[in-house]
Amino acid sequence: MALEMREICERCEVSLRAADPAFICSYECTFCPDCTAAMAATCPNCGGELLVRPRRVTA
């Protein structure tokens, strides 16, 4: 099963392309780096740890 690459931050709604830095929890909630820092790298939805999302680079 492929990782869902959500295209917006769930907190501030900034656009996140597949190659942009972003953070996700185990449920794939997605946040920009600024929001992740403001939330102390903790997902507000599940309380899980936010980790760096892998990047996809398109050819």
Domain ranges of the chain: 1-59
CA distances from 29 to 9, 21, 42 (A): 9, 14, 11
Task: Quote the pLDDT of residue 59.
Answer: 59
Predicted confidence pLDDT, tens digits, the chain (59 residues): 778 889 999 999 999 998 899 999 999 999 999 999 999 999 999 999 999 999 877 65
Task: Quote the pLDDT of residue 3.
Answer: 83
Task: Quote the pLDDT of residue 4.
Answer: 85
CA gap 20, 16 in Å, rounded: 6
CA gap 21, 18 in Å, rounded: 8
